[in-house]
Structure 1
Amino acid sequence: MVDAWSYGYPRILTIDRNKQRLDQRRNESQTRYYDNPANPDPRPGQDLDEYPPAMFVENYGRAHVRPINESQNRGAGAVIGRLLEPYSDGDKVEIITNYEELFGNS
């Protein structure tokens, strides 16, 4: 997330769990990733991570995508999903991390 923020991706996001639109955003983001020959293919045990996640309107099918450990990606997705259960589609949420506190600004 932090590297995506450095490229100007938003921290305030709008929830949209509609399965068809969510899948479309994810597919478009991943297609754009694979269409760039400079991007590495994920290695075994990696998923393509996207920010903003596909469940947010601001993904627009143009998310910041990179390969990461599949367990970390799926675990983070599950945590975000659980945290947002009380919220409805159309609600805006702000993504906040303690990355800088844990890892510094490097």
Structure 2
Amino acid sequence: MRIKRILFTLAFLIGIGLFSLLTEQQNSQTTNTSVQADVVLTFPRERYPETAEHIRSAIEKGQSAVCTIDRKSADKHREDSLRGIPTKRGYDRDEWPMAMCKEGGKGADIAYISPSDNRGAGSWIANQLEKYPDGTRVQIVIGDQLAR
């Protein structure tokens, strides 16, 4: 009986160790998005500081740093992400992930930022990504941050 108890305890501890190892490997794979991205795009913090801060903050809160380009769904994503978020005079509602991303839409992080910063940033990103087809996975890195 004592041997069975020891074997059971040993098997249980090994099981916990394996579960821990598998969970740690899975977490490192999901947070290491540069491995999963086709392109790394460095966003210019100095040109669009409000948008850069929103992207950084949203990613820190758990939003994806990777954008899978999905232009055909952008209108639907924008509608879903902004639903219930009131407009504010003098501000744009910035979404992260962006509406053009498969990861965008319902549950996106929304921040009120100045229209010039938001629209300039949107135009800059659109120009950078225009050569890439839908389905391309793009990791967004803020100016002075390194890809992880």
SS in 1 for 2:132: coil
Q: Distance in 2 between matches of 1:99 and 1:5?
A: 15
2:60 is aligned with 1:6: yes
Offset, 1:90:
0.5
Q: How does 1:25-104 map to 2 (within 5 A)?
A: 25-34=77-86, 41-44=87-90, 46-98=91-143
Would you identify which runs of 4 or more consecutive aligned residues in structure 1 move more than 3 Å? none
* Alpha-carbon displacement from aligned partner over 1:14-58 (angstroms, at most 9, x marks no partner): 00010xx21111011111434xxxxxx4232x1100001100000
Worse-matched range after superposition: 60-69 or 70-79: 60-69
Pairs aligned (count): 92
Two-structure CA RMSD over aligned residues (Å): 1.7
Q: Distance in 2 between matches of 1:59 and 1:99?
A: 24
User: Partner residue of 2:32?
Assistant: none
Unaligned runs of 5+ in 2: 1-54
What letter is aligned with 2:85? Answer: Y
Q: Distance in 1 between matches of 2:109 and 2:88?
A: 15
2:74 is aligned with 1:22: yes
Q: Higher helix share goes to which structure? A: 2
Q: Which has the larger radius of gyration?
A: 2
Distance 1:7 1:32, change over 3 A: farther
Unaligned runs of 5+ in 1: 35-40, 101-106
Percentage of identical aligned residues: 36
